[in-house]
Amino acid sequence: MPKKILVVSGLVGIAVVVVLLTISLREAGRPPSEVIRPDAVQSTARPSGALRRNARPRNDAARRRDGSSAIAKVSETLSASFLESLRTAWEAYRNQLAANSSTSKVISSSDVSPDNGFHYFLRAAELLPGFDFEKFRALLDKMRAEGWVDDPELRTFFEKCQVAFDALREGLAAGTAQAPLPRGPDEPMPYLANFRNLTRALAMQMEWEGLQGNYSSAFDDYVTLVQFGTDSTNGGAIINALVGYAMINIATNSMTNLASGTNASAEDYRSLITRLQAEDARFDILQNAAATELQWIDSWLEERRRAGDFDALTPDEREVLLTNPARFLGDYLALPFYEAQTVDTSDLMADPLSGTIMSGYLELPEAEARTRAQVRGTIVAAAIRLYVLDHDSLPTSLSELAPSYLPQLPEDPFTGESFRWQPVEGSYILYSSGADMEDNDGLGDTSGKTPGTDLVLARF
């Protein structure tokens, strides 16, 4: 249990760092040499995930579930001295891992078999030439405002990138990508920062192609980046998931820039919708990452059990220590965002032990919901473009899109309801209600992180 404690709290600490490093990638640049480190080692089993979506609750306190009992029971059942001894044992174990991993060789493509698609992801990042992100970003922003220009420096850069982009697509085509497991909490993972730079480069190429009117290639680049953001997290931990989310966010920001003036063909829009629907159907970043984290936590506790640390406990106490928290976390992370908000964790978070275990995990459903909303919003935006091609006007309601342009309207991952669509200041806005699950009449931006604002997905 303390194991869960330190793994999660440490992991969350580094996760927050990664979020700050990656989510704002579009605005702030980092050199390819930057290093990201994990704070946990993982394995590959899935959590129980017994609780699944079957309701659409809102912020109704009367309907909130008591989610604290399973974990809080640990603090009530086991003595403080016993729990402290486990904390000490975990710190010693973690320090030993750190000592072993700090001198480890940084993982490169040569360390991963070509049978593993991740080999090609690493190779792609290694082949990417260096570039001045801020300079190229400014050039594309100017073109979007004033019209496309065949800038020789940008063209040369994208030509040099093709070998890296080809390696990335080869890894996706392999369909076998599994991230290498970190060898300790302080193992350098520069490839995660390099994945971000690779995503930036391909996202800029996507805009470059779209500004030229080559929408088929631009849409293909976007789907490639969504696939990359998903597949690069396979077998990884929460840190991999956070970077994956950031990569998809980068791609969607560029897609939003492009979509404001897009006039692609009906065929291109239909292909984009079909391919993104397939990606949305297999989107399981959080569950995959959480599974490795929870399995590793369980494995460490089992190791302590075999060492005799739990011999003095009763069978019931051992059950509480070894299973309840992990099972609760697994079920919690399996919930869609709007159901996770119905779990009452107030008592749990007030308890030092339980609160440490849950720290950080409570924020993960929001990160996943935001990323899924962006992908689904792109699907709806493409369907709106199809509608315009047929009717020469915007729909007055999203219901007009189904079933002619979409089999059914995608759910807003934050609410389980439809996305919002309404006129605002002479234009129409497609938006998600965002993390507060309240309709704020489209007031917000593409981050949707400010309380009382919405997550804006597209403007027409």
Distances, alpha carbon 319 to alpha carbons 73, 89, 315, 357, in Å: 11, 20, 6, 17
pLDDT of 397 strictly over 80: yes
Q: Which residue has the higher pLDDT, 435 or 356?
A: 435
CA atoms within 13 A on the CB side of 88: 7
Percent of the chain at pLDDT exceeding 70: 70
Work out the angle at residue 36's Cα, subtended by the Cα atoms of residues 30 and 42, and round it to the nearest 5 degrees.
Answer: 150
The arithmetic mean of pLDDT across residues 386-401, rounded, is: 94
Lowest-confidence pick of 118-127, 181-190, 368-377, 413-422 = 181-190
pLDDT of 383 strictly over 70: yes
Percent of the chain at pLDDT exceeding 90: 42
Task: State the Cα–Cα distance between residues 320 and 325, nearest whole angstrom.
Answer: 8
Task: State the Cα–Cα distance between residues 156 and 167, nearest whole angstrom.
Answer: 18
Lowest-confidence pick of 199-203, 236-240, 264-268, 427-431 = 236-240
Can you give the pLDDT at residue 326? 59
* 16-64 residue pLDDT tens: 333 323 333 333 333 333 334 344 333 333 333 333 333 333 333 333 3
Q: Which of the four pLDDT bands, split at 50, 70 and 90, describes residue 421?
A: very high
pLDDT of 415 strictly over 60: yes
Q: pTM score, two decimals?
A: 0.79
The arithmetic mean of pLDDT across residues 105-127, rounded, is: 93
Q: Are 339 and 19 in contact (CB under 8 A)?
A: no
Q: Which of the four pLDDT bands, split at 50, 70 and 90, describes residue 443?
A: confident
Can you give the pLDDT at residue 460? 87
Work out the angle at residue 314's Cα, subtended by the Cα atoms of residues 311 and 315, and round it to the nearest 5 degrees.
Answer: 100
As a whole number of Å, the CA-based R_g of the chain is: 23
Q: Which residue has the higher pLDDT, 68 or 41?
A: 68
Task: State the Cα–Cα distance between residues 386 and 406, nearest whole angstrom.
Answer: 10
Any idea which residue has 């290694």 for tokens?
126
Q: Which of the four pLDDT bands, split at 50, 70 and 90, describes residue 392?
A: very high
Beta bridge partners of 454: 444
Determine if the peptide bond prior to 403 is cis (ω within 30°).
yes
Distances, alpha carbon 407 to alpha carbons 282, 336, 431, in Å: 17, 22, 20
Lowest-confidence pick of 171-175, 253-257, 312-316, 345-349 = 345-349
**Type and span of the H or E element at 428:** strand 427-432
Task: State the Cα–Cα distance between residues 15 and 242, nearest whole angstrom.
Answer: 7
Distances, alpha carbon 194 to alpha carbons 34, 43, 122, 129, 445, in Å: 8, 23, 9, 11, 27
Q: Which of 116-120, 260-264, 436-440 has the highest mean pLDDT?
A: 116-120
Q: Which residue has the higher pLDDT, 90 or 136?
A: 136
Q: Which residue has the higher pLDDT, 88 or 341?
A: 341
The arithmetic mean of pLDDT across residues 140-167, rounded, is: 93
DSSP state letter for 130: P
Q: Which residue has the higher pLDDT, 259 or 189?
A: 189
pLDDT of 400 strictly over 50: yes
pLDDT of 7 strictly over 60: no
The arithmetic mean of pLDDT across residues 210-221, rounded, is: 94
Task: State the Cα–Cα distance between residues 433 and 364, nearest whole angstrom.
Answer: 17
Q: Which residues touch 279 (CB under 8 Å, ≥6 apart)?
A: 223, 226, 227, 230, 375
Task: State the Cα–Cα distance between residues 109 and 324, nearest whole angstrom.
Answer: 39
Q: Which of the four pLDDT bands, split at 50, 70 and 90, describes residue 324?
A: low
**pLDDT, mean over the chain:** 77
Q: Which residues touch 178 (CB under 8 Å, ≥6 apart)?
A: 44, 116, 117, 118, 234, 235
Q: Which of 22-31, 68-77, 97-106, 225-234 has the highest mean pLDDT?
A: 225-234
Q: Other C-beta atoms within 10 Å of 208: how many?
A: 26
Lowest-confidence pick of 57-66, 293-302, 346-355 = 57-66
Any idea which residue has 């935001």 for tokens?
370
The arithmetic mean of pLDDT across residues 307-317, rounded, is: 78
Can you give the pLDDT at residue 406? 96
Q: Which of the four pLDDT bands, split at 50, 70 and 90, describes residue 350?
A: low
Lowest-confidence pick of 71-75, 97-101, 105-109, 389-393 = 71-75
Task: State the Cα–Cα distance between residues 363 and 218, nearest whole angstrom.
Answer: 32
